[in-house]
Amino acid sequence: MSLRIVVCVKYVPDATGDRHFAEDLTVDRDDVDGLLSELDEYAVEQALQIKEAADDAEITVLTVGPEDASDALRKALSMGADKGVHVEDDDLHGTDALGTSLVLAKAIEKTGYDLVVCGMASTDGSMGVLPALLAERLNVPQVTQLSAVSVENGVVKGRRDGDTASEQLEASLPAVVSVTDQSGEARYPSFKGIMAAKKKPVETLDLEDLEIEADEVGLEGAWTKVEDAAERPARTAGTVVKDEGEGGKQLAEYLAGQKFI
Amino acid sequence: MAEVLVYVDHVDGAVRKPTLELLTLARRIGEPVAVHLGAGADTAAPVLAEHGAVKVLTADAPEFTEYLVAPKVDALQAAYEAVSPAAVLLPSSVEGKEIAARLAVRIGSGIITDAVDLEAGDEGPVATQSVFAASFTTKSRVSKGTPVITVKPNSAAPEAAPAAGTVEQLAVTVADSSKGTKIVSRTPRESTGRPELTEAAIVVSGGRGVNGAENFPLIEALADSLGAAVGASRAAVDAGWYPHTNQVGQTGKSVSPQLYIAAGISGAIQHRAGMQTSKTIVAINKDAEAPIFDLVDYGVVGDLFDVVPALTEEVKSRKG
Ligand SMILES: Cc1cc2nc3c(=O)[nH]c(=O)nc-3n(C[C@H](O)[C@H](O)[C@H](O)COP(=O)(O)OP(=O)(O)OC[C@H]3O[C@@H](n4cnc5c(N)ncnc54)[C@H](O)[C@@H]3O)c2cc1C
Ligand SMILES: Cc1cc2nc3c(=O)[nH]c(=O)nc-3n(C[C@H](O)[C@H](O)[C@H](O)COP(=O)(O)OP(=O)(O)OC[C@H]3O[C@@H](n4cnc5c(N)ncnc54)[C@H](O)[C@@H]3O)c2cc1C
């Protein structure tokens, strides 16, 4: 039987750009180019490796986001995923983590799945909670923050490297997995992959398709409210000295002045 | 006064500093009730009481160590039902955030992660977050349900505020559905004897400029002279020069010490994301154009192989 893998990928503003908030205190997406969250490339890579090790597997990449979020799906498809699902609806604007997890969970159930693979965190909200939220909503095991992962005979195994210990984890499918950037470099799409991606099917769903009411998501339905967003004042220019033999001493002098020594 | 649940992060009853910070913040919005799961409650309770816990709810079960996260969610949910708190606070560790997330779904509440400050507001607690690699500061609150908020280490100075700390046993039933992810084995990390990276008052980090694992003792020596923790950039970690657990940045640890010293680190956005909220920032880099110098309070343009040992010597002699 075919192993159905769903990879959740997020479309985010480029972290190297000048990211801002819009007037309604949601992320300003017009100012900065968007792209597939770099940490989700690791999720796509691990899904591809799991597929390559399986007899028969199919990878669906799933995103919840505005029209441009299809770019994130194309990137994942060009890396080798088989098909895409894009949940897009004007009423989704301003959705928070609880809302996003609700939409993702419904879309995953509709698509059908044995394994859900996520990144460790997005590069914008960077909460790192979506995989746990999904496991709770789908009522399946969470096998998260893995630096190594494999699937064999309906069992997912992984290594979770924590602060105090490294743990070996195991769960039966269906399950939700998230992988860290230690799991292995993501492959670059080949020219052939990029051309093939253009022909791969992408299904677009809206809230009605998922039987979600508009007031359960979006800014209005959000469980959290951002009341203020202020740009951090630029740091006042510090002292920079050139080492001409005394650099270490001068620095010690400064640290002593600040009472660090 | 309303009660506030505080999830206790500890190692066999040795309470970690971020929990004491949580108790301090909790007192701004109500009366802290600590939830201690696992062994060592007897050791932890007096410390929790000393820092303001009016009550300490405790539970121990083999499931907490045999399975990942979910059994602890069952326990925290039991505490939530026993207390009906005004808010639930947890430390912003990987596990803390995951427990918070699952509890939020169960109790139908919003979640805010990585708060760096917390204050009482007319419509419930207001959390300050530092977002987009610390380039923006936001204020948010939970608008549905009981606020579930995770707080970063070093967000408040722990204050003593002796309270009753009455210990009560919490009845916990671990659901079968919470036994899905088995922890098959656990390899503990060896302690270096240095302060915990996220909690340290001073952090000394080395980057690609350190140029090899064999040179990291230079960074360690400076750290030891200052009683600091050692950090590393991802470039240094990816090269295998230092363990990943010491990585500072977006996909590593986020630190907010009194003093951060970056040696041979350029200051890429992903590194800045993990250290930009440090109070005082110092850099040593031979490239005067390195972006890290945009952040510094004090910078030395120079070769770290000259500057770092000289600094270490100077610190040692000043400390006598
Ligand atoms: C700066 C900032 C701060 C925020 N703070 C909060 C907050 O405190 N509370 C809150 O409720 N919301 C918050 N949000 C909103 C939150 O980021 C979004 O709701 C988001 O979609 C879910 O959280 P995340 O992006 O942080 O996901 P993470 O939990 O960091 O992402 C983990 C993984 O989940 C998957 N994933 C996440 N989002 C999507 C998506 N839209 N489509 C497909 N896969 C996805 C990806 O695999 C990703 O790697 C914040 C947003 C921003 C930009
Ligand atoms: C999704 C994602 C997540 C990431 N997460 C992280 C993260 O968590 N943490 C992180 O650090 N990075 C992270 N990165 C990587 C980040 O983009 C940079 O590549 C990395 O921070 C560079 O490390 P570096 O400053 O040590 O190396 P470089 O950028 O190579 O800088 C080395 C510096 O050392 C200086 N130097 C060299 N020799 C000497 C000498 N003898 N004396 C003094 N100075 C010297 C050079 O002038 C240079 O400025 C991430 C990247 C991505 C895409």
Count of CB atoms situated within 10 Å of the CB of B218: 19
The overall average pLDDT reported for chain B is 97
Protein residue with least CA distance to atom 39, ligand 1 = A10
pLDDT at A1 over 80: no
Q: Cβ of A247 and B309 within 8 Å?
A: no
Residue A45 has pLDDT above 90, yes or no: yes
pLDDT confidence bin for B24, thresholds 50/70/90: very high
Rg of the Cα atoms in chain B: 21
Answer whether B253 contacts ligand 2 (Cβ < 6 A).
no
Q: Which two tokens stand for residue A248?
A: 């270490």
Section A242-261 average pLDDT: 97
**Alpha-carbon span B88 to B76, nearest angstrom:** 9
What type of residue sits at position B258? Q
pLDDT at A228 over 90: yes
Asked if residue B65 has pLDDT above 90, the reply is yes
What token pair was written down for B300? 């030395």
Measured between CB atoms, which of A133, A223, A238 is closest to B142? Answer: A223
Q: Are strands A239-242 and B298-301 parallel, antiparallel or unpaired?
A: parallel
How many beta-carbon pairs under 8 angstroms link A with B? 259
Chain A positions touching B273 (Cβ under 8 A) are 15, 126
Kindly tell me if the per-residue pLDDT of B320 is higher than 90.
Answer: no
pLDDT at A29: 81
- Report, as an integer, the average pLDDT of A183-199: 97
* C-alpha distance from A52 to closest chain B C-alpha (Å): 24
Query: Please, which residues have CB within 8 angstroms of residue B62's CB and are 6 or more apart in sequence?
Result: none
List Cβ neighbours of B52 (8 Å cut-off, separation of 6 or more). B23, B24, B26, B27, B32, B159, B161, B162, B163
Percent of chain B scoring above 70 in pLDDT: 100
How much of chain A exceeds pLDDT 90, in percent? 90
Q: What is the pLDDT of residue B277?
A: 92
Does residue A234 have a pLDDT over 90?
no
Q: Is the pLDDT of residue A237 over 80?
A: yes
- What tokens does A51 get? 């597929």
> Given pLDDT bands bounded at 50, 70 and 90, which one contains residue A164?
confident
Residue type present at position A207: L
Q: pLDDT at position B45, please?
A: 98
pLDDT of the residue at A78: 98
Instruction: Give the pLDDT of residue A30.
Output: 81
- DSSP code per residue over B182-217: EEEEEEEPPP-SSPPTTT-SEEEEE-GGG-SGGGHH
pLDDT attached to residue B107? 98
Q: Looking at residue B226, what DSSP letter applies?
A: H
Kindly list the strands in the beta sheet with A83-87, ordered across the sheet, starting from the edge strand earlier in the chain: A202-205, A83-87, A57-64, A3-8, A115-119, A175-179, A142-152, A155-161, A165-172, B182-188
* pLDDT over 80 (residue B1): no
- Please check the confidence at residue A190 and state whether its pLDDT lies above 70: yes
Looking at residue A18, its pLDDT comes to 87
ipTM: 0.96
Per residue in A70-109, pLDDT (tens digit) is 999 999 999 999 999 999 999 999 999 999 999 999 999 9
pLDDT surpasses 80 at B243: yes
Query: Is the per-residue pLDDT at A252 higher than 70?
Result: yes
Distance of CA B78 to the CA centre of its chain: 25
pLDDT digits (tens, 9 = 90+) for A118-148: 999 999 999 999 999 999 999 999 999 999 9
The β-bridge partners of A63 are A86
Task: Give tens-digit pLDDT for B274-302.
Answer: 999 999 999 999 999 999 999 999 999 99
Q: Which of B150, B153, B159 is nearest to B50 (CA)?
A: B159
Compute the mean pLDDT over every residue in chain A, rounded to the nearest whole number.
96
The size of chain B, in residues, is 320
Residue with tokens 């917390």: B118
Using CA atoms, how far apart are residues A193 and A178, in angstroms rounded to an integer?
Answer: 24
**Joined tokens for residue B94:** 């990987």
Of chain B, the percentage scoring pLDDT greater than 90 comes to 97
Q: Following DSSP, what letter does each residue of chain A receive, concatenated? A: --EEEEEE--EEE-TTS---B-TTSSB--SSS-EEE-HHHHHHHHHHHHHHHHSSSEEEEEEEES-GGGHHHHHHHHHHT--EEEEE--GGGTT--HHHHHHHHHHHHHHH--SEEEEESS-SSS----HHHHHHHHHTS-EEEEEEEEEEETTEEEEEEE-SSEEEEEEEESSEEEEE-TTS-PPPPPPHHHHHHHTTS-EEEE-TTTTT--GGGSHHHH-SEEEEEEEEPPPPPP-EEEE-SS-HHHHHHHHHHHTT--
Distance, in Å, from the CA atom of A104 to the CA atom of A121, rounded to the nearest integer, reads 15
Token reading at A174: 């269906």
The span from the CA of B260 to the CA of A141, in Å, is 39
Phi-psi group of B69: left, alpha or beta (phi > 0 → left; psi -120 to 50 → alpha; rest → beta): left
Verify whether ligand 1 is closer than 6 Å to residue A10 (CB atom): yes
Q: Which residues in chain B are closer than 8 Å to A137, comparing Cβ atoms?
A: 105
